[in-house]
Amino acid sequence: MTAARRSIRYAVVGLGHIAQVAVLPAFAHARNSELVAVVSGDRTKRREMAKRYGLEQTFTYEEFDNCLREVDAVYIALPNSMHADYTIRAARAGVHVLCEKPMAVTTKECQQMIAACRKARVKLMIAYRLHFESLNLAAMDLARRGRLGELKFFNSTFSMMVRRGDIRTKRAYGGGTLYDIGVYCINAARNLFRAEPTQVSAVSINSGLSSLAEIDETTAATLRFGNDQVATFVTSFNAADVAAYRIVGTKGDLHADPAYEYAEGLEYSVTIDGKTTRKAIGKRDQFAPELLYFSDCILKDREPEPSGEEGLQDVRIVDALYQSARSGRPVTIRRFVKTRRPTGRQRITRPGVRKPRLIKVQSASRD
């Protein structure tokens, strides 16, 4: 890459719902990031996306290695089970990787991804979009500055009625509530507490629905932190749409609802000494800030955050929770020291985008 380069050329790999609704439109708001190609196994999707975004090149999955010769970076929006393979192949080709969460399905895969990118000296970032959302960062700042007093416990609910046959319900593709939506709760608790869990436990429940038989239908989790803080959350693919959390301290509490969405605005309320204040924002583009920041890291040779280590820790916790659910016993988490944390430089705001016409894809949630 020459010193004069001012933008990074991307290929978006995978043209599912999140890619079509959010990732592809975000390039219009990311001046240092240029969409030059898409990769998909579906000919119609490739043709329609090329037409919509003025792309000269599209590639099948079999042509992925050819694609890597034409780009500087990839945004991986594939099923969870494919993240590791495509990240490692991109790294070996000298291509930087922005990968959707969860980072991968196993801790071993995460470690292999980190090692491959480190060996090739390419950047690896995990797409935790809320690390760039100003309302989320404001909530974290408020908690960390002691406005709520000594932080005691965190509770979250994230649920949806998942469409029958959706990829999230397929074990072979890395489906499951903890992988898909539990990582939001885990990551929020870790960052709000500014601490790491030392022990976790979980219970998974299935009501007998054949459409959810391969994965956990509902999981209730408890994360114990070494400084006597505790986080609990419930995730479900067979309950009404809810995406909220509450963190409680000795002086007050903060309640975010909705807390994790990208298709609508976010809101939280803070109650301190009996007085409640509310803060809300309308819909914003949460994906353009990721692109802007990651491209800037590439151009200026800076290490990005959320890093691969951040993604690895969440997958490590997911793995331990599933292990606990199977065994019926608590599981100890190995010590993890977070070396990089969100800073004010990541507070990037871009206006919301209008939902585009979808091509051969549906939302995961039932209408």
Q: Which residues are catalytic?
A: 101, 184
Q: How far is the CA of 246 from the CAs of 3, 49, 141, 151, 177, in angstroms?
A: 46, 40, 15, 11, 20
Cβ pair 167, 78 in contact under 8 A: no
- How far is residue 29's CA from residue 39's CA, in Å, rounded to a whole number? 21
Q: How far is the CA of 34 from the CAs of 9, 51, 117, 288, 299, in angstroms?
A: 5, 16, 22, 11, 13
Q: Which of 1, 67, 55, 59 is nearest to 24 (CA)?
A: 55
- How far is residue 121's CA from residue 269's CA, in Å, rounded to a whole number? 43
Q: Where are the alpha helices (DSSP H) in the chain?
A: 17-18, 24-26, 43-53, 64-68, 83-92, 107-120, 134-144, 177, 183-193, 288-300, 308-327
**The pairing of beta strand 73-76 with beta strand 275-280:** unpaired
Cβ pair 235, 177 in contact under 8 A: yes
Q: Which helix (H) or strand (E) holds 238?
A: strand 238-249
Number of H helices and E strands in the chain, helices first, is 11, 15
Q: Which of 181, 220, 179, 174 is nearest to 201 (CA)?
A: 220
Cβ pair 271, 308 in contact under 8 A: no
